[in-house]
A = this chain, B = another copy of it.
Amino acid sequence: MAKYKAPLRDMRFVLNEVFAADQLWASMEATQEVTPDLAEAILEEGAKLTENELFPLNLSGDAEGCRFENGQVFTPKGFKEAYRALAEGGWMGLGGNPEFGGQGMPKMMTVLFEEMLYASNAAFTLYPALNSGAALLLDSHASEEIKAKYLSKLYEGQWIGTMCLTEPHAGTDLGLIRTKAEPNGDGTYTITGNKIWITGGEHDLAENIIHLVLAKLPDAPAGTRGISLFLVPKFKIHEDDSLGEHNLVNCGSIEHKMGIKGSATCVINFDGSQGIMIGEPHRGLAAMFTMMNYERLSIGIQGLGLGEVAYQSAMDFAKERIQSRAPKGPQQPEKAADPILVHPDVRRMALNVRAFNEASRAFASYVGMQLDISKYHADDTQRQHAADLVALLTPVAKAFITDRGFDATVEAQQIYGGSGYCSEWGAEQYVRDARIAQIYEGTNGIQAMDLMGRKIFANGGKFLNIFTSDVRQFLAEQQGQTGMQDWCATLEVELKRLESVTEQVMQMGKENPEEIGAAAVDYLNLFGYVAYAYMWARMVAVAQPKATGAADDFYTSKVKVGQHYLKRILPRTLALEAQIQAGADVLMSLDEQAFYAE
């Protein structure tokens, strides 16, 4: 059956050994109180909570799904109690601003806890994940008064936040939204419009739902520069924070979806609801991007969490499943057959999954570290350097982790044979739950456009240089280290490939703007494979000197899984390079009508 134990050993390795988080935390004022002991305690408690409270509700939550009745949404059995446990334990505000009751934990810590959340119950996790993003948005863009009123409630989980962007005719292209906000003259606005795909738009977990809504003022210019941001509670809130009347925020229906069935995906109608503006008029989309970028990393971690639980569950199956004999002859002659892990192809699948999961964990932590530096570091240059890296790596984290996470769930499902297709084993749910992560929060194609267009092309590759310099500094440090020669040589080849392809696309893109979109997805993948090679090299560099060679030695396994990545996964860059070089004409030459024919 499905199995999940938070991979604490590997999390500690990434946090303490690969990225020396304790040194970083000690060096910055805002994080000085985060000692290794505290971090360890949080990881252990987080593991208990997710393993014992959330994971047992995963399969049942999928089978039951959310129920919509007369405008109300009921979450699956047990979700309420689990939510309460999360809220009461202070977990909803783990990364929140301490000034308003948050726990103030660095992002490097919260990414690890988020992984546990998604792994144990992805559908459930979307409720708190959206809430964290909403709180971050308010913390970044709302007035002190609003922060004081809302943040502590959100951190406590008494109220819960959502993001309301999409409308039926406006998804990727938010400039087209029609939801209107008319000023009432008393500082409030009347919001009217229909939003769709609102995660947690309505449910029974918290006493109030705080919607962050994109809408247009009457004098708004057309397009994305005419969008403002409003806070619209489900129930109006009195001065003393007690709840008032229903605010005409109505749930019209919930979607029937491929997966994340315990997460309510709602049609939300604002039928003249009262809201307040957050930030400046017409600057709402920029403010919303604070939340979106946060959610993008979070959704990336959804891919990792599901890949991890898919791996553990598949190995739990493989351990018991005996079928056929090893190529070299019986390994367990006393049994009717050998365990399926004797077969090289089963190992290939398991190692693929594992090599991605471990690199994704390191990569998410690396991005988390840059986020912390960009926020808390005393030095301006360091902060800017980290912020540029975050801008560059966020679309990669969202798209590459979820793409490889989806692959991981599919490959883990394959290990089961037919059982993987039967719902009781859980493997097929992971595939369905992982699939959405490639689509929402900006499809992975949109992430690739963001990377290629805005983060690479628009600044002439400046952000990329920061990244490659970081890698090259590591390579320089590793010169002559035992066991690192192959890694350093290959990584240098891959960096040169990435740089040369970047140069080519920037050149082509100057002649023809279609080249940017034509290269985007293959380029993001190329970038991702190289970035994961860097993560693996950093992990191997730490593990190699400690490896004992023993069968059960963590470091020995680490080095060997790294070898699998290097030899049996990284060569995919060869194909991506050639595909990018094929250019846009191949894609654009077919007449549009010829796609629709017959």
- Kindly supply a per-residue 1/0 record for chain A positions 508-543, scoring 1 wherever the CB is within 8 Å of any chain B CB and 0 otherwise: 000011111110110000000000000000000000
Give the residue name and chain of the B residue nearest to A259 (CB). Answer: B421
User: How far, in angstroms, from A412 to B354 measured CA to CA in the complex?
Assistant: 27
Contacting residues, chain B, for A449 (C-beta < 8 A): 345
- A334-353: which residues lie under 8 A (CB-CB) from chain B? 336-337, 339, 341-351
B residues less than 8 Å from A322 (CB atoms): 169
Asked whether any CB of chain B lies closer than 8 Å to the CB of A551, the reply is yes
A182 vs B444: C-alpha distance in the bound complex, in angstroms?
59
Among candidates B257, B341, B588, residue contacting A347 with C-beta atoms closer than 8 Å: B588
With A514-B327, A579-B571, A598-B5: A257-B421 Cβ-Cβ less than 8 Å: yes
Q: How many Å lie between the Cα of A428 and that of B428 in the bound state?
A: 13
Q: Which residues of chain A (411-448) have a CB below 8 Å from chain B?
A: 413-414, 417-418, 420-424, 428, 431-432, 435-436, 438-440, 443-445, 448
Tell me whether A552 and B594 are in contact (CB under 8 A).
Answer: yes
Contact B323 A551, beta carbon cutoff 8 Å: no
Q: A440 contacts which chain B residues (CB < 8 A)?
A: 418, 421
* A372 smallest CB distance to B (angstroms): 27
Once the chains bind, are A171 and B323 in contact (CB under 8 Å)? Answer: yes
Interface residues of A, count at CB 8 A: 107
Using A258-B431, A422-B256, A514-B328 as known contacts, say yes or no to A592 and B342 having CB atoms under 8 A apart.
Answer: yes
- Report A187-236 residues with CB < 8 Å from chain B CB: 197
Query: Does A57 interact with chain B (Cβ within 8 Å)?
Result: no
> Are B586 and A328 in contact, with the CB atoms below 8 A?
no
Question: C-beta contact mask, A568-598 vs B, less than 8 Å → 1, else 0?
Answer: 1101111100110010101111111111111
Binary CB contact string for chain A from 541 to 577 against chain B (1 if under 8 A, 0 otherwise): 0000000000110001100110110011101111100
Residue A9 is within 8 A (CB to CB) of chain B in the complex: yes
A453 to chain B, nearest CB (A): 9
**A315 / chain B contacts, CB cutoff of 8 Å:** 595-596
Tell me how far the C-beta of A483 lies from the nearest C-beta in chain B, rounded to whole angstroms.
14
Name A514's contact: one of B344, B439, B512 (CB within 8 Å).
B344
Q: Is the CB of B552 within 8 A of A593?
A: yes
Residues from chain B with Cβ under 8 Å of A418 in the complex: 166, 171, 197, 439-440
Q: Contacts A347-B588, A587-B351: A423 and B171 contacting too (C-beta < 8 A)?
A: no
Q: Which residues A312-369 have CB closer than 8 A to chain B?
A: 312, 315-316, 318-319, 322-324, 327-328, 336-337, 339, 341-351, 354
- Interface majority SS (helix, strand, loop, mixed), chain A: helix
CB of B592 within 8 A of CB of A520, answer no
Question: Is A172 an interface residue when CB atoms closer than 8 A count as contact?
Answer: yes
Q: Are the C-beta atoms of A348 and B432 separated by less than 8 Å?
A: no
Q: Are B592 and A257 touching (Cβ within 8 A)? A: no
Q: Does A499 contact B (CB under 8 A)?
A: no
CB pair B592–A563 under 8 Å, yes or no, is: no
The answer to whether A255 has its CB under 8 Å from any CB of chain B is: yes
When the two chains form their complex, are residues B552 and A568 in contact, meaning their CB atoms are under 8 A apart?
no
By the criterion CB–CB under 8 Å, are A591 and B552 in contact? Answer: yes
- Nearest-neighbour CB distance to chain B for A500, whole angstroms, equals 16
Contacts A171-B418, A417-B439; A551 near B345 (Cβ below 8 A)? no
Query: In the assembled complex, which residues on chain B have CB atoms less than 8 Å from the CB atom of A435?
Result: 410, 413, 421, 428, 431
**Contact call B587/A348, Cβ cutoff below 8 A:** yes
Q: How far is the CB of A494 from chain B (nearest CB, A)?
A: 13
Q: Quick one: given A171-B323, A521-B348, A575-B571, are A593 and B551 in contact (CB under 8 Å)? A: yes
> A345 contacts which chain B residues (CB < 8 A)?
445, 448-449, 517-518, 520-521
Top 6 closest pairs, chain A to chain B, by CB: A571-B578, A551-B591, A344-B517, A567-B582, A258-B428, A344-B518
By a beta-carbon cutoff of 8 Å, the part of chain A in contact with chain B is 5, 7-9, 166, 169-173, 176, 197, 255-259, 312, 315-316, 318-319, 322-324, 327-328, 336-337, 339, 341-351, 354, 410, 413-414, 417-418, 420-424, 428, 431-432, 435-436, 438-440, 443-445, 448-449, 512-518, 520-521, 551-552, 556-557, 560-561, 563-564, 567-569, 571-575, 578-579, 582, 584, 586-598
Besides A417-B439, A418-B440, 18 more A-B contacts (Cβ < 8 Å) are A7-B598, A8-B598, A171-B417, A172-B323, A176-B337, A318-B596, A341-B595, A345-B449, A346-B445, A347-B595, A348-B521, A348-B587, A414-B439, A414-B444, A551-B591, A551-B593, A552-B593, A564-B587
